[in-house]
Amino acid sequence: MKAARCEVYGGPENIVIRDIPDPVVKPGHVVVDVAAAAINFPDLLFIADKYQMSIPVPFTPGNEFSGRIAEVGEGVSGFAVGDAVYGSVPQGAMAEKALVAVEALTLVPDGLSMVEAAAFRVTYLTGYLSLVTAGNVRPGQWVVVLGAAGGVGTATVDIATRLGARVIAAASSDDRLAVAKELGAEAGVNYATENLKDRIKEITGGGADLVIDPVGDRWAEPALRAITWGGTFVTLGYAGGEIPRIPLNLVLLKNVTVRGLELRTWIARLPEATAAAKAGLAELIAGGLRPRVSETHPLDDVAVALQRVADRVPTGKVVITVTEGARNA
Ligand SMILES: NC(=O)c1ccc[n+]([C@@H]2O[C@H](COP(=O)([O-])OP(=O)(O)OC[C@H]3O[C@@H](n4cnc5c(N)ncnc54)[C@H](OP(=O)(O)O)[C@@H]3O)[C@@H](O)[C@H]2O)c1
């Protein structure tokens, strides 16, 4: 099969396309003919060997995919050959076939295309769990979403709006803020040109109830300083580069709750919360929610697609179309 390969750690330009052996099905797993695979920011960290855990080279990048089941392993129930599914793998989604553990599979719901389904699992589960389980969001509350035009950001803005929260989007340009406003954000702060803390306080009139932060770096602290007494700050990642060091007195003085959320371990350790999130997301899909796919690229252009994510160009998710026609399937 054809697969994207990371053979040497480094930037997107190092990713090559190779012919490698097809995966062999094993108990508790299925082999999926991949239709589409979505990019997440951590893909850039994995190929550069900068993620918290190292993947030995050579490997096929990619955590999330959609496709059709080609083979079913021993002991698998609830899925059959031909089913349209989406899901996640530790690595290996950017290939024509993927070996997937049955727990990581979901049937594609009515109304989602293969491209949308590929873009759904990681960012939308992260957004939902951070808002509902970690953030305990309530209708009418002010929610600040940093990196609001990115993959996690657009998902979180969309979900928060649909749950009745009042969303302040924060991003690095007015064009990117416009995207978040299309998804329902009531206000925007351009953190490249405006004072993030002052603007959040001004807009809310007393501080935000909840901050969702996938960016970190120099934006985490001003956002935390703009939280109201008793509010919550959820840290998701550090796309900005630096892991911020926050003075603890800021947490004490306003009785702020700081929560961390790491999707893989939450799914493994909090099955009930994960099931509730999936059910909540299914309701939102039935109500019209669709992943925001900003652009698609063929498998041969994985390096180009990864570079665009590194350059902060996309607004929403970038999807690799592996089979012809995945875009409309
Ligand atoms: N905790 C979890 O389980 C979990 C799950 C998924 C993702 N994440 C994390 O969430 C973050 C976002 O992931 P994503 O897939 O949504 O990525 P993405 O689509 O690339 O979005 C990242 C956003 O961060 C902003 N940003 C600020 N400084 C940046 C920089 N130096 N380089 C790149 N982007 C920068 C960009 O927006 P502006 O240009 O507007 O600033 C961009 O929209 C990552 O840190 C990722 O590791 C965590």
300 in any annotated domain: yes
Tokens of 187: 């206000």
272 in any annotated domain: no
pLDDT digits (tens, 9 = 90+) for 75-115: 999 999 999 999 999 999 999 999 999 999 999 998 899 99
In angstroms, the Cα distances linking 295 to 39, 125, 305, 308 are 11, 21, 9, 10
Q: What's the confidence (pLDDT) of residue 234?
A: 98
From 152, 196, 243, 262, mutation site for ligand 1 pocket: most ligand atoms within 8 A of C-beta: 152
Count structural domains, the chain. 2
pLDDT greater than 80 at residue 327:
no
Continuous H helices in 205-298:
220-225, 248-253, 263-269, 271-286
In contact, 62 and 289? CB cutoff 8 Å = no
Q: What's the confidence (pLDDT) of residue 82?
A: 96
18 in any annotated domain: yes
| β strands within 102-186, DSSP E | 105-107, 142-146, 166-171
Mean pLDDT of the region 259-273: 94
The share of the chain scoring above pLDDT 70, in percent, equals: 98
191 and 255 together in one domain: yes
Give how far the C-alpha of residue 215 lies from the chain's centroid of Cα atoms, to the nearest Å.
Answer: 12
In contact, 103 and 79? CB cutoff 8 Å = no
In contact, 180 and 172? CB cutoff 8 Å = no
Sequence letter at residue 80: A
Looking up residue 94, the CATH number of its domain turns out to be 3.90.180.10
pLDDT greater than 80 at residue 324:
no
User: Rounded to the nearest whole angstrom, what is the distance from the C-alpha of residue 41 to the centroid of ligand 1?
Assistant: 6
231 and 311 together in one domain: no
Q: What is the span of the domain harbouring residue 40?
A: 2-120+292-321
273 in any annotated domain: no
> Across the chain, what does the average pLDDT equal?
96
Mean pLDDT of the region 192-201: 98
Query: Sorting pLDDT into bands at 50, 70 and 90, what band is 182?
Result: very high
pLDDT greater than 80 at residue 5:
yes
The share of the chain scoring above pLDDT 90, in percent, equals: 96
In contact, 71 and 101? CB cutoff 8 Å = no
Mean pLDDT of the region 266-294: 95
In angstroms, the Cα distances linking 114 to 296, 307, 313 are 12, 23, 23
176 in any annotated domain: yes
d(CA 119, CA 113): 10
The ligand 1 atom at the shortest distance from the C-alpha of residue 173 is: 40
Q: What's the confidence (pLDDT) of residue 53?
A: 87
pLDDT greater than 80 at residue 200:
yes
287 in any annotated domain: no
From 39, 41, 212, mutation site for ligand 1 pocket: most ligand atoms within 8 A of C-beta: 41
Q: What's the confidence (pLDDT) of residue 154?
A: 97
